[in-house]
A and B are shown apart, each in its own frame.
Chain A
């Protein structure tokens, strides 16, 4: 998730091109971060120091031995850095560097500037780099949306697992009506009723369905809505299962499918825009079942 959040941000800011981002994401899948890059990212070494140590040996083993010998790093720090080699942010930064798009020092500097500009705390920046949905989503949830966070985390984790690991969020907000052209909604009844909907304005749901089924769907038709219904059913089931740990009994109703609508309205519902493969679709969550589809 973090690679797509930062990557798309860099593209939108004109720092890199969409083509470069595609190349970086492809490269990221094949590599692990090297120790020098992790040390710079963690603020343990400067970029110059890491380069100097690396000049004496390219491999991670040589880097670790030289860094310890010269007193730059302790064995404990090396161990901790080794554990971070698989981290998604580190691998993304490494891919940027490997393809000469941006080095880690430039990336970190840019993120710091953006952190200040967007009023993020250092902890939130670290949360973002963690690539953990439960730590990243709160950054996108302003105060009044907090009651929806648990349900949103379950939904986004499910979407990442079933649809695409590159799904990324935009800022969530509350509204009483949202204009969309098609949607699938599932109501869950019981002590703590809720509903999930996945909606789009054009053919975004076809993109979501294509990702899940590994089949090309060109338009939002009955088949696509059925696929999205199955995804929502899994989201609702997993959230209901979580709630059942606290003894809350819920009943999942079959999903409803809408191929041509104008809007969804409710007293107050959460809208979480989500990006996938250059399209934006919407996850809508309601904490009661008073939803109107027009």
Chain B
């Protein structure tokens, strides 16, 4: 089970994503409706994973992503957007987003994406652990 932060200005979108991730057995630890609040909640709650909308009033998702990655270079952030525009996707990937999901989000695709990110992060954690345990 992962602790998830949902950042999206649409209450409807947050409600749909929350229902999906809870159905998968994860826990939504916080929600935010703009980038600034999203970043504050990211610092406060230290979630295992973030779903982050791009188009939001005030601070947008790309700016919030930049702040989150500065705060924690291992942050696991999935960008969620209705527009698959190459420029935004490239920016998000450059900034360190783990994946990019199109709206309307489909449950099976969200599940696959989260599972894959958590699996990879589990493997990375094990490798770090193995390196730490190696005799000097």
Partner of A250, one of B13, B83, B103, B104: B83
Is there a chain A Cβ closer than 8 Å to B122's Cβ?
Answer: no
- CB neighbours (8 Å) of A273 from chain B are none
Question: With contacts A233-B103, A237-B102, A237-B103 known, is A254 near B85, CB below 8 A?
Answer: no
**A263 contacts chain B at the CB level, 8 A cutoff:** no
Q: Which of A218-252 contact B (CB under 8 A)?
A: 223, 226-227, 229-230, 233-238, 240-241, 244, 249-250, 252
Provide the bound-state CA to CA distance between A201 and B131, in Å: 66
Question: Is there contact, CB below 8 Å, between B55 and A233?
Answer: yes
Quick one: given A253-B55, A254-B9, are A233 and B86 in contact (CB under 8 Å)?
no
Where chain A touches its partner, the secondary structure class is: helix
- Enumerate A121-154 residues with CB–CB distance to B below 8 Å: none
Interface residues of B in 89-124 (CB under 8 A from A): 102-104
A22 within 8 A of B: no
On whether A237 and B82 interact (CB within 8 A), knowing A254-B55, A254-B56, A254-B57, the answer reads yes
Contacting pair B10 A229 (CB below 8 A): yes
Contact among B13, B55, B87 with A252 in the assembled complex (CB-CB below 8 Å) = B55
Please give, as numbers and ranges, the residues of chain B lying within 8 Å of A290 by CB-CB distance: none
Q: How many residues of A contact B (CB 8 A)?
A: 22
Beta-carbon contact of A233 and B87 below 8 Å: no
Give the total of B residues in contact with A, Cβ under 8 Å: 19
B84 touches A230 (CB 8 A): no
Chain B residues in 8 Å Cβ range of A226: 10-12
Partner of A249, one of B12, B56, B85: B85
Which secondary structure dominates chain B's binding surface?
A: loop
- On chain B, the residues within 8 Å of A161 by CB distance are 104
Instruction: Report A194-230 residues with CB < 8 Å from chain B CB.
Output: 213, 223, 226-227, 229-230
> Can you name the residue of chain A whose Cβ is closest to the Cβ of B87?
A249
Q: Which residues on A sit within 8 Å (CB–CB) of B104?
A: 161-162, 230, 234
For B11, the chain A residues whose CB sits under 8 A away are 223, 226
Q: Are A234 and B12 in contact (CB under 8 A)?
A: no
Residue in B12, B83, B86 whose beta carbon sits within 8 Å of that of A236 in the complex: B83
Q: Which A residues touch B55, using CB under 8 A?
A: 233, 252-254
| Complex CA distance for A153 and B85, rounded to whole angstroms | 19
Which residues B20-69 have CB closer than 8 A to chain A?
55-57
Nearest chain A CB to B7 CB, angstrom units: 14
Q: Which residue of B lies closest to A248 (CB)?
A: B85
Provide the residues of chain A in CB contact with B83, threshold 8 Å: 236-238, 240-241, 244, 250, 252
| 16 contacting pairs across A/B (C-beta < 8 A) | A161-B104, A226-B10, A226-B12, A229-B10, A233-B10, A233-B55, A234-B104, A235-B82, A236-B83, A241-B84, A244-B85, A249-B85, A250-B83, A250-B85, A254-B9, A254-B57
A interface, CB within 8 angstroms of B: 161-162, 213, 223, 226-227, 229-230, 233-238, 240-241, 244, 249-250, 252-254
The 9 closest A-B pairs by CB, nearest first: A237-B82, A237-B83, A230-B12, A241-B84, A244-B85, A240-B83, A227-B12, A230-B10, A234-B82
